[in-house]
Amino acid sequence: MASDPRHDVTEMLLRWRNGDARALDEMLPLVYDELRRLARRHLRREPPGHTLQSTALVHEAFLRMMDQNAQWQNRAHFFGIAAQMMRRVLVDRARARCAAKRGEGARKVTLDAGLVAPGGRGVDVEALDEALSNLGKLDPRQEKIVELRFFAGLSIEDTSEAMQLSPATVKREWATARAWLYRELTA
């Protein structure tokens, strides 16, 4: 019987955290494709002609993760931190792009089809980041759920595992957070 890759990743993260440097090298091939899939998902929202490729986004996010010397607890936690780093990379690039253009052409995104603003217009990355940070001040748990669900693309079940919450709680908090963000971003 083949082993569960989710368990393998968690086991390798624990080995790496306990000082086994080889464990990280063994784990990277297991997570790299999923990280690139997440990066491609984020980059689909980029305007045509953008220069950032999914490989570059994965590498930049991973370098930032290594700089933080994170103590990943499990697979879901690892992907949650990766999503957070991808979010930061994209927000930094959007800020730099807007600064270069004096604010013109801000990149637009939506959280999902249920959060599209009236008239089909999206929300710029900086506004989303600011709204998400404000949500975090009110409810850090909901901010983390949005990061895991939207930026990391984790399922309800993976999010509940990462946060040690029931799936029902994650569903409820996810719905509440999306409604709050919708109101903030369309005001």
pLDDT in tens, 92-135: 887 777 665 554 555 555 555 444 444 444 456 778 888 999 99
For residue 96, the model assigns a pLDDT of 78
For residue 116, the model assigns a pLDDT of 42
Are 85 and 61 spatial neighbours (Cβ–Cβ below 8 Å)?
yes
What distance lies between CA 139 and its chain's CA centroid? 17
For residue 7, the model assigns a pLDDT of 64
> What whole-number distance in Å separates Cα of residue 179 and Cα of residue 124?
17
**Residue 65's domain spans which residues?**
5-186
Low-confidence ranges of the chain (pLDDT < 50): 1, 103, 113-122
For residue 117, the model assigns a pLDDT of 41
For residue 121, the model assigns a pLDDT of 43
Q: How many structural domains are present in the chain?
A: 1
Query: What pTM did the predictor assign?
Result: 0.62
